[in-house]
Amino acid sequence: MEKLLLSELSRVYGSLLSELLEKLRRPPRRLYLRVNTLKTTRERVISMLSEEGIETYPDEEVDDAIFLEVKGPFNIECNTDKKIIVDDKTAISLLMGANLYRPGIRKWVAFEKGDRVLVVTGDNTPVACVETTTSHYHAINSEKGLVGVNIQSPYRAPSIAETKAYLKGLIYPQSLPSIITSHVLNPKPGELIIDMNASPGGKTSHVVQLSIGRTRVIAIDRSEGKVKALKSTLDWLGLNLNVLALPMDSRYIHLDLNLQNKADKILIDPPCSNLGVRPIIAFNRTMRDIINLSNYQRQFLKAAYHVLKPGGILVYSTCTITMLENEENILYAVNELKYNTVEPDYAPPYAEKISYKGITGYRFSPLSHDLPGYFIAVLSK
């Protein structure tokens, strides 16, 4: 990792930085799912999954969250010279035991159906051994479809994608801090809520769920493709109640929509460096990336100020761990944009409350509760 970025992370973790980096390379021991409580109960989902041989457990603090246990680490013994190179997103899925599909493949050597092939990242880090279900010739001429069944990976978690609960939209894979974020927002019937970075729909659908479909939600993301993914999530979960999904750049929402001082609550979960996401395959971010992202994130905060009602609430969250993208952005929001930081009605469990130059926020640390790194702050106008 770049020295400047290491220095930035040291501002938060100090002498524990090496321990943090090691933790980030490994997945948490718990893989979380959110229960769609508008369709079912947590107890019913746990029972349904158990009937299919998948044991899940209720979270101790969050009443619509359940988790599966992640096993490992295990050694990969593939005994082959054949390799397939995949992108980082696919590598993380394979690392956790998922099968190999065509879209994530970047390069390969020739293979036939039934071969054992070692799957690696771009820097040659092994992530899985797969048994191919097709030949390289057929894979070349395909854009999607199964290419290999994962037979060895460093970590294993039960697959839920083919379960009845998943197919019926009764559960949604989501990190625990992300689930908690919507509880912090605390949507109420009749409120106008704007989700400024809505795709793929985890938090938008949760807002609908928590308000029993009685909020008015404007869900925005920057492209038609992202909004299509958002709508697909809402339809799958049956949580497309009172949601207006718009493809637009929400940094200009105050100019493009007639919403001056109209929103009761706003959620900003902007693009970030993702340095809290676990496991991290490659630490390839630079300090220049962090600075650019921080400046980008501030544009959402600036636009939101114009559309938030006086007395309205804004929840800002990221899945990263740098101060520039978290505490420094909230300090900017208070000092330059004239927001106030406030205490949430729902105090985030598992998070450490932090105070920094007069502002407050909440950090989820991989070191304290074996969670992803994550940050939440609550602002008012």
Annotated active-site positions, please?
319
| Alpha-carbon 168 to chain mean position | 22
How far apart are alpha carbons 309 and 317 in whole angstroms?
20
Q: Position 72: which residue type? A: G
- Please name the residues in contact with 284: beta carbons below 8 A apart, sequence gap of 6 or more: none
Cα–Cα nearest to 155, from 87, 94, 80: 94
DSSP state of 192: E
Beta strands in the chain, from DSSP E residues, in sequence order:
30-35, 57-58, 65-69, 83-86, 100-101, 105-108, 116-120, 126-132, 146-152, 171-173, 192-195, 216-221, 243-247, 263-268, 308-318, 340-341, 352-356, 359-364, 374-380
Provide CB contacts within 8 A for 123, sequence distance 6+.
282
151: left (phi over 0), alpha (psi -120 to 50) or beta: alpha
CB 274 within 8 A of CB 244: no
Q: Report how far residue 359's alpha carbon sits from residue 314's, in angstroms, rounded to the nearest whole number.
A: 14
Q: Are 132 and 114 in contact (CB under 8 A)?
A: yes
For the residues of 62-84, what is the DSSP string, one character each? -TTEEEEEPB---------S-EE
DSSP 310: E
